Amino acid sequence: MRNSIAALSTIYVKNFSIIIFIVIMCFSITTQAQGDGPRFYWKGLMGTNAVPVIGSSMGGNANPFDPTYKVVPGANFEATMTMAGYAKMLPLLKRSAMVSVLMPMGRISSTTSINGFSTNTTARGYGDPMLQLGINIIGPKAIMNIPQIIRYQPGFSVDLIGSLAVPMGEYDSSSPVNIGQNRWYGRVGAPVVWQIGAWVPGKRTTFEFLPAIWFFSDNNNFMGQKMETKPMYQLEAHLTHDFMEKFWGSLDAISYSGGQATVDGVEGNELNNVGVGGTLGYHINDNIQMNISYSSSVNDSQPTDLKMDGFRVTLICGWHSLVEGMNRLKESH
């Protein structure tokens, strides 16, 4: 019996890297203008824990901490952002579900030039924490054990997500530039993962897209005025491919439309912008993955168009008590 158990454990441990690779890519990260990113809606073993740490540098003519990306013609924003969070995968109605929280923090500065005069504004501190719940509605059922994850293939998978930002971030009503937004906002979306070809590490290819609608409550103290914002529409797409077993890449595209802001009855412009970029991902070890992304807006020739580019580095640490126990069992033999 012992020999049978050891042999079975060896088979599972041979697939250990496959298991962990899927485990640490099992949750979403909402990182403002760069979107959620590729491979963040892949599924993992139920009970998986994950911690992301994200650093990004972004610049353009809108506040990167503001999800409405309200364009300020003639302004230049530079932001250094760090985000950290926690996510856990749980079964819900026999489907894969994920709960997560993400806390943004950082520093932003803006320079606005009007009639030859420049105005500089700086803000720093914590932003609004984002809570998210996602559940799979089409695709394989929840992965409850290691044999199931070894046999797992996403096929055509659709999730339903809901996000909510809590207005707890630092906010100065006398300043036009802030880290916190002084209002509730969130989104509903339906991430899609479409497997193309064989599901073998080193050969996996997926087409992924995320349609979502953002909603915003009013900011009743925007420099002493009331700001209302119409819903904003997000469409994000990724074509991902494994170059090697531990190294993969993605072509990324994202668009935003709508989101017209009105301040004390004065209407602003709607967004109608597209950004493109790329992502490279590398599995540092069995528990840690690093992603590097760059994106930039493309249809931004007019002063009222959103102009934004950014560079992002993401470290994701994932673990599961069952898998960690198997690893200890492997080391003991």
* 70-74 long-range contacts, CB within 8 A, separation 24+: 70/259, 70/261, 70/268, 71/268, 71/269, 71/271, 71/304, 71/305, 71/306, 71/307, 72/110, 72/112, 72/176, 73/303, 73/304, 74/112, 74/113, 74/114, 74/303
pLDDT of residue 10: 44
Tell me what pLDDT residue 27 has.
47
Q: What percent of the chain has pLDDT over 90?
A: 39
| Tens digit of each residue's pLDDT (9 = 90 or more) over 136-157 | 999 999 988 878 877 888 899 9
Structure tokens at 16: 């250990």
**Continuous segment of H or E residues that includes residue 148:** helix 146-151
pLDDT attached to residue 45? 84
Question: Which residues make beta-bridge pairs with 319?
Answer: 49
Q: Taking 80 as the threshold, does the pLDDT of residue 332 lie above it?
A: no
Q: Which of 40-44, 86-90, 133-137 has the lowest mean pLDDT?
A: 40-44
pLDDT per residue over 236-288, tens digit each? Answer: 999 999 999 889 999 999 998 998 888 888 888 888 888 999 999 998 887 88
Give the pLDDT confidence score for residue 272 in this predicted structure.
86
Domains of the chain: 2-332 (2.40.160.40)
Max mean pLDDT range (6-10, 47-51, 157-161, 297-301): 157-161
* pLDDT at residue 212 is higher than 80: yes
- Asked if pLDDT for residue 184 goes beyond 90, the answer is yes
Which pLDDT score is estimated for 52?
87
Q: Phi/psi at 110 (nearest 5 deg)? A: -135, 145
Question: The pTM is what?
Answer: 0.85
Contact status, residue 298 vs residue 277, Cβ threshold 8 Å: no
Integer Cα distance of 223 and 215 in angstroms: 21
